[in-house]
Amino acid sequence: MSNTDFALAVEDLTVSFDGFKAIDALTLYIDRNELRVIIGPNGAGKTTLLDLICGKTRASGGSIKFKNTELTRMAEHQRVRLGIGRKFQTPSIYENLSVFQNLEVSFPAGRSVFGALAFKCTDEVRARVRAVAQDVGLIDKLDIEAGLLSHGQKQWLEIGMLLMQEPELLMLDEPIAGMSARERELTAELLLRICKNRAVIVIEHDMEFVRRIAHKVTVMHQGKILAEGPMEQVQADSRVIDVYLGH
């Protein structure tokens, strides 16, 4: 497979914060329709890697190619337009709007939340909202005020808001933190469903969850990749046990 066939090709990526290399010459390839999980101890550089891919942080060196387009000098909003979606740890939903409205304002036509009040909802947008709500398990909650949703449902709503943009790469940082066992199970099903149409990168600590969803696991340590492969292989790796799984 040539490098152009990947959804994402990260090569020799480095970022220094005052001389400290949070990401150190890291190389990583993600296939289209792959669900990759990144694990590793606190401070390994996992969140920083997502920051670099989405453009929140600028790389000091190396390359990030998305569908063979170089991203490193591109602004964050341009990367969104190219098809990169990023979910942060705390959900950013509009608590006072309904689930429907939250999804509607996320439609890429780019209306502000205030402009949405005057917006005449087209059939196209309405159909997309319903399809996405179905995907994230909120089809019965469309008229509910988002602030009244459970913690887990808020997380799914935010994933839905990202899906409204039809991203080809979706990145999620610790999506099941604070969720109940049932919500975790539903989130696993949700992620397995949505990676059929796109590449997904998930950072997660819960090993049961990782085992359930990962196509492949990347283990990060000190800004580098320590191990990469199927869950069983990574779990049996003595270096991984030493720096992470053993604790």
Q: Does 44 bind ligand ADP (CB under 6 A)?
A: yes
The single-letter code of the amino acid at 144 is I
19 by Cβ neighbours in 10 Å (0-12 / 13-18 / 19+) ranks as exposed
115 by Cβ neighbours in 10 Å (0-12 / 13-18 / 19+) ranks as exposed
Range 41-70, binding Mg ion (CB under 5 A): 46-47
8 Å CB contact between 15 and 57: yes
In whole angstroms, the minimum distance from the beta carbon of 142 to Mg ion comes to 32
Q: Does 84 bind ligand ADP (CB under 6 A)?
A: no
Q: Does 79 bind ligand ADP (CB under 6 A)?
A: no
Q: Does 46 bind ligand ADP (CB under 6 A)?
A: yes
Instruction: Please state, in angstroms and rounded to a whole number, the distance separating the CA atoms of residues 225 and 220.
Output: 5
The interface partner of residue 92, options being Mg ion, ligand ADP, none and the CB cut-off 5 to 8 Å by kind, is none
Per CB under 6 A, the list member of 6, 45, 176, 201 interacting with ligand ADP is: 45
The interface partner of residue 112, options being ligand ADP, Mg ion, none and the CB cut-off 5 to 8 Å by kind, is none
Our CB check for ligand ADP shows the closer of 44 and 227 to be 44
Kindly state the tokens that stand for 128.
């997309």
Strands 69-70 and 169-173: unpaired
In whole angstroms, the minimum distance from the beta carbon of 46 to ligand ADP comes to 3
Our CB check for ligand ADP shows the closer of 47 and 106 to be 47
Instruction: Please state, in angstroms and rounded to a whole number, the distance separating the CA atoms of residues 95 and 100.
Output: 12
Site residues, Mg ion (CB under 5 A) = 46-47
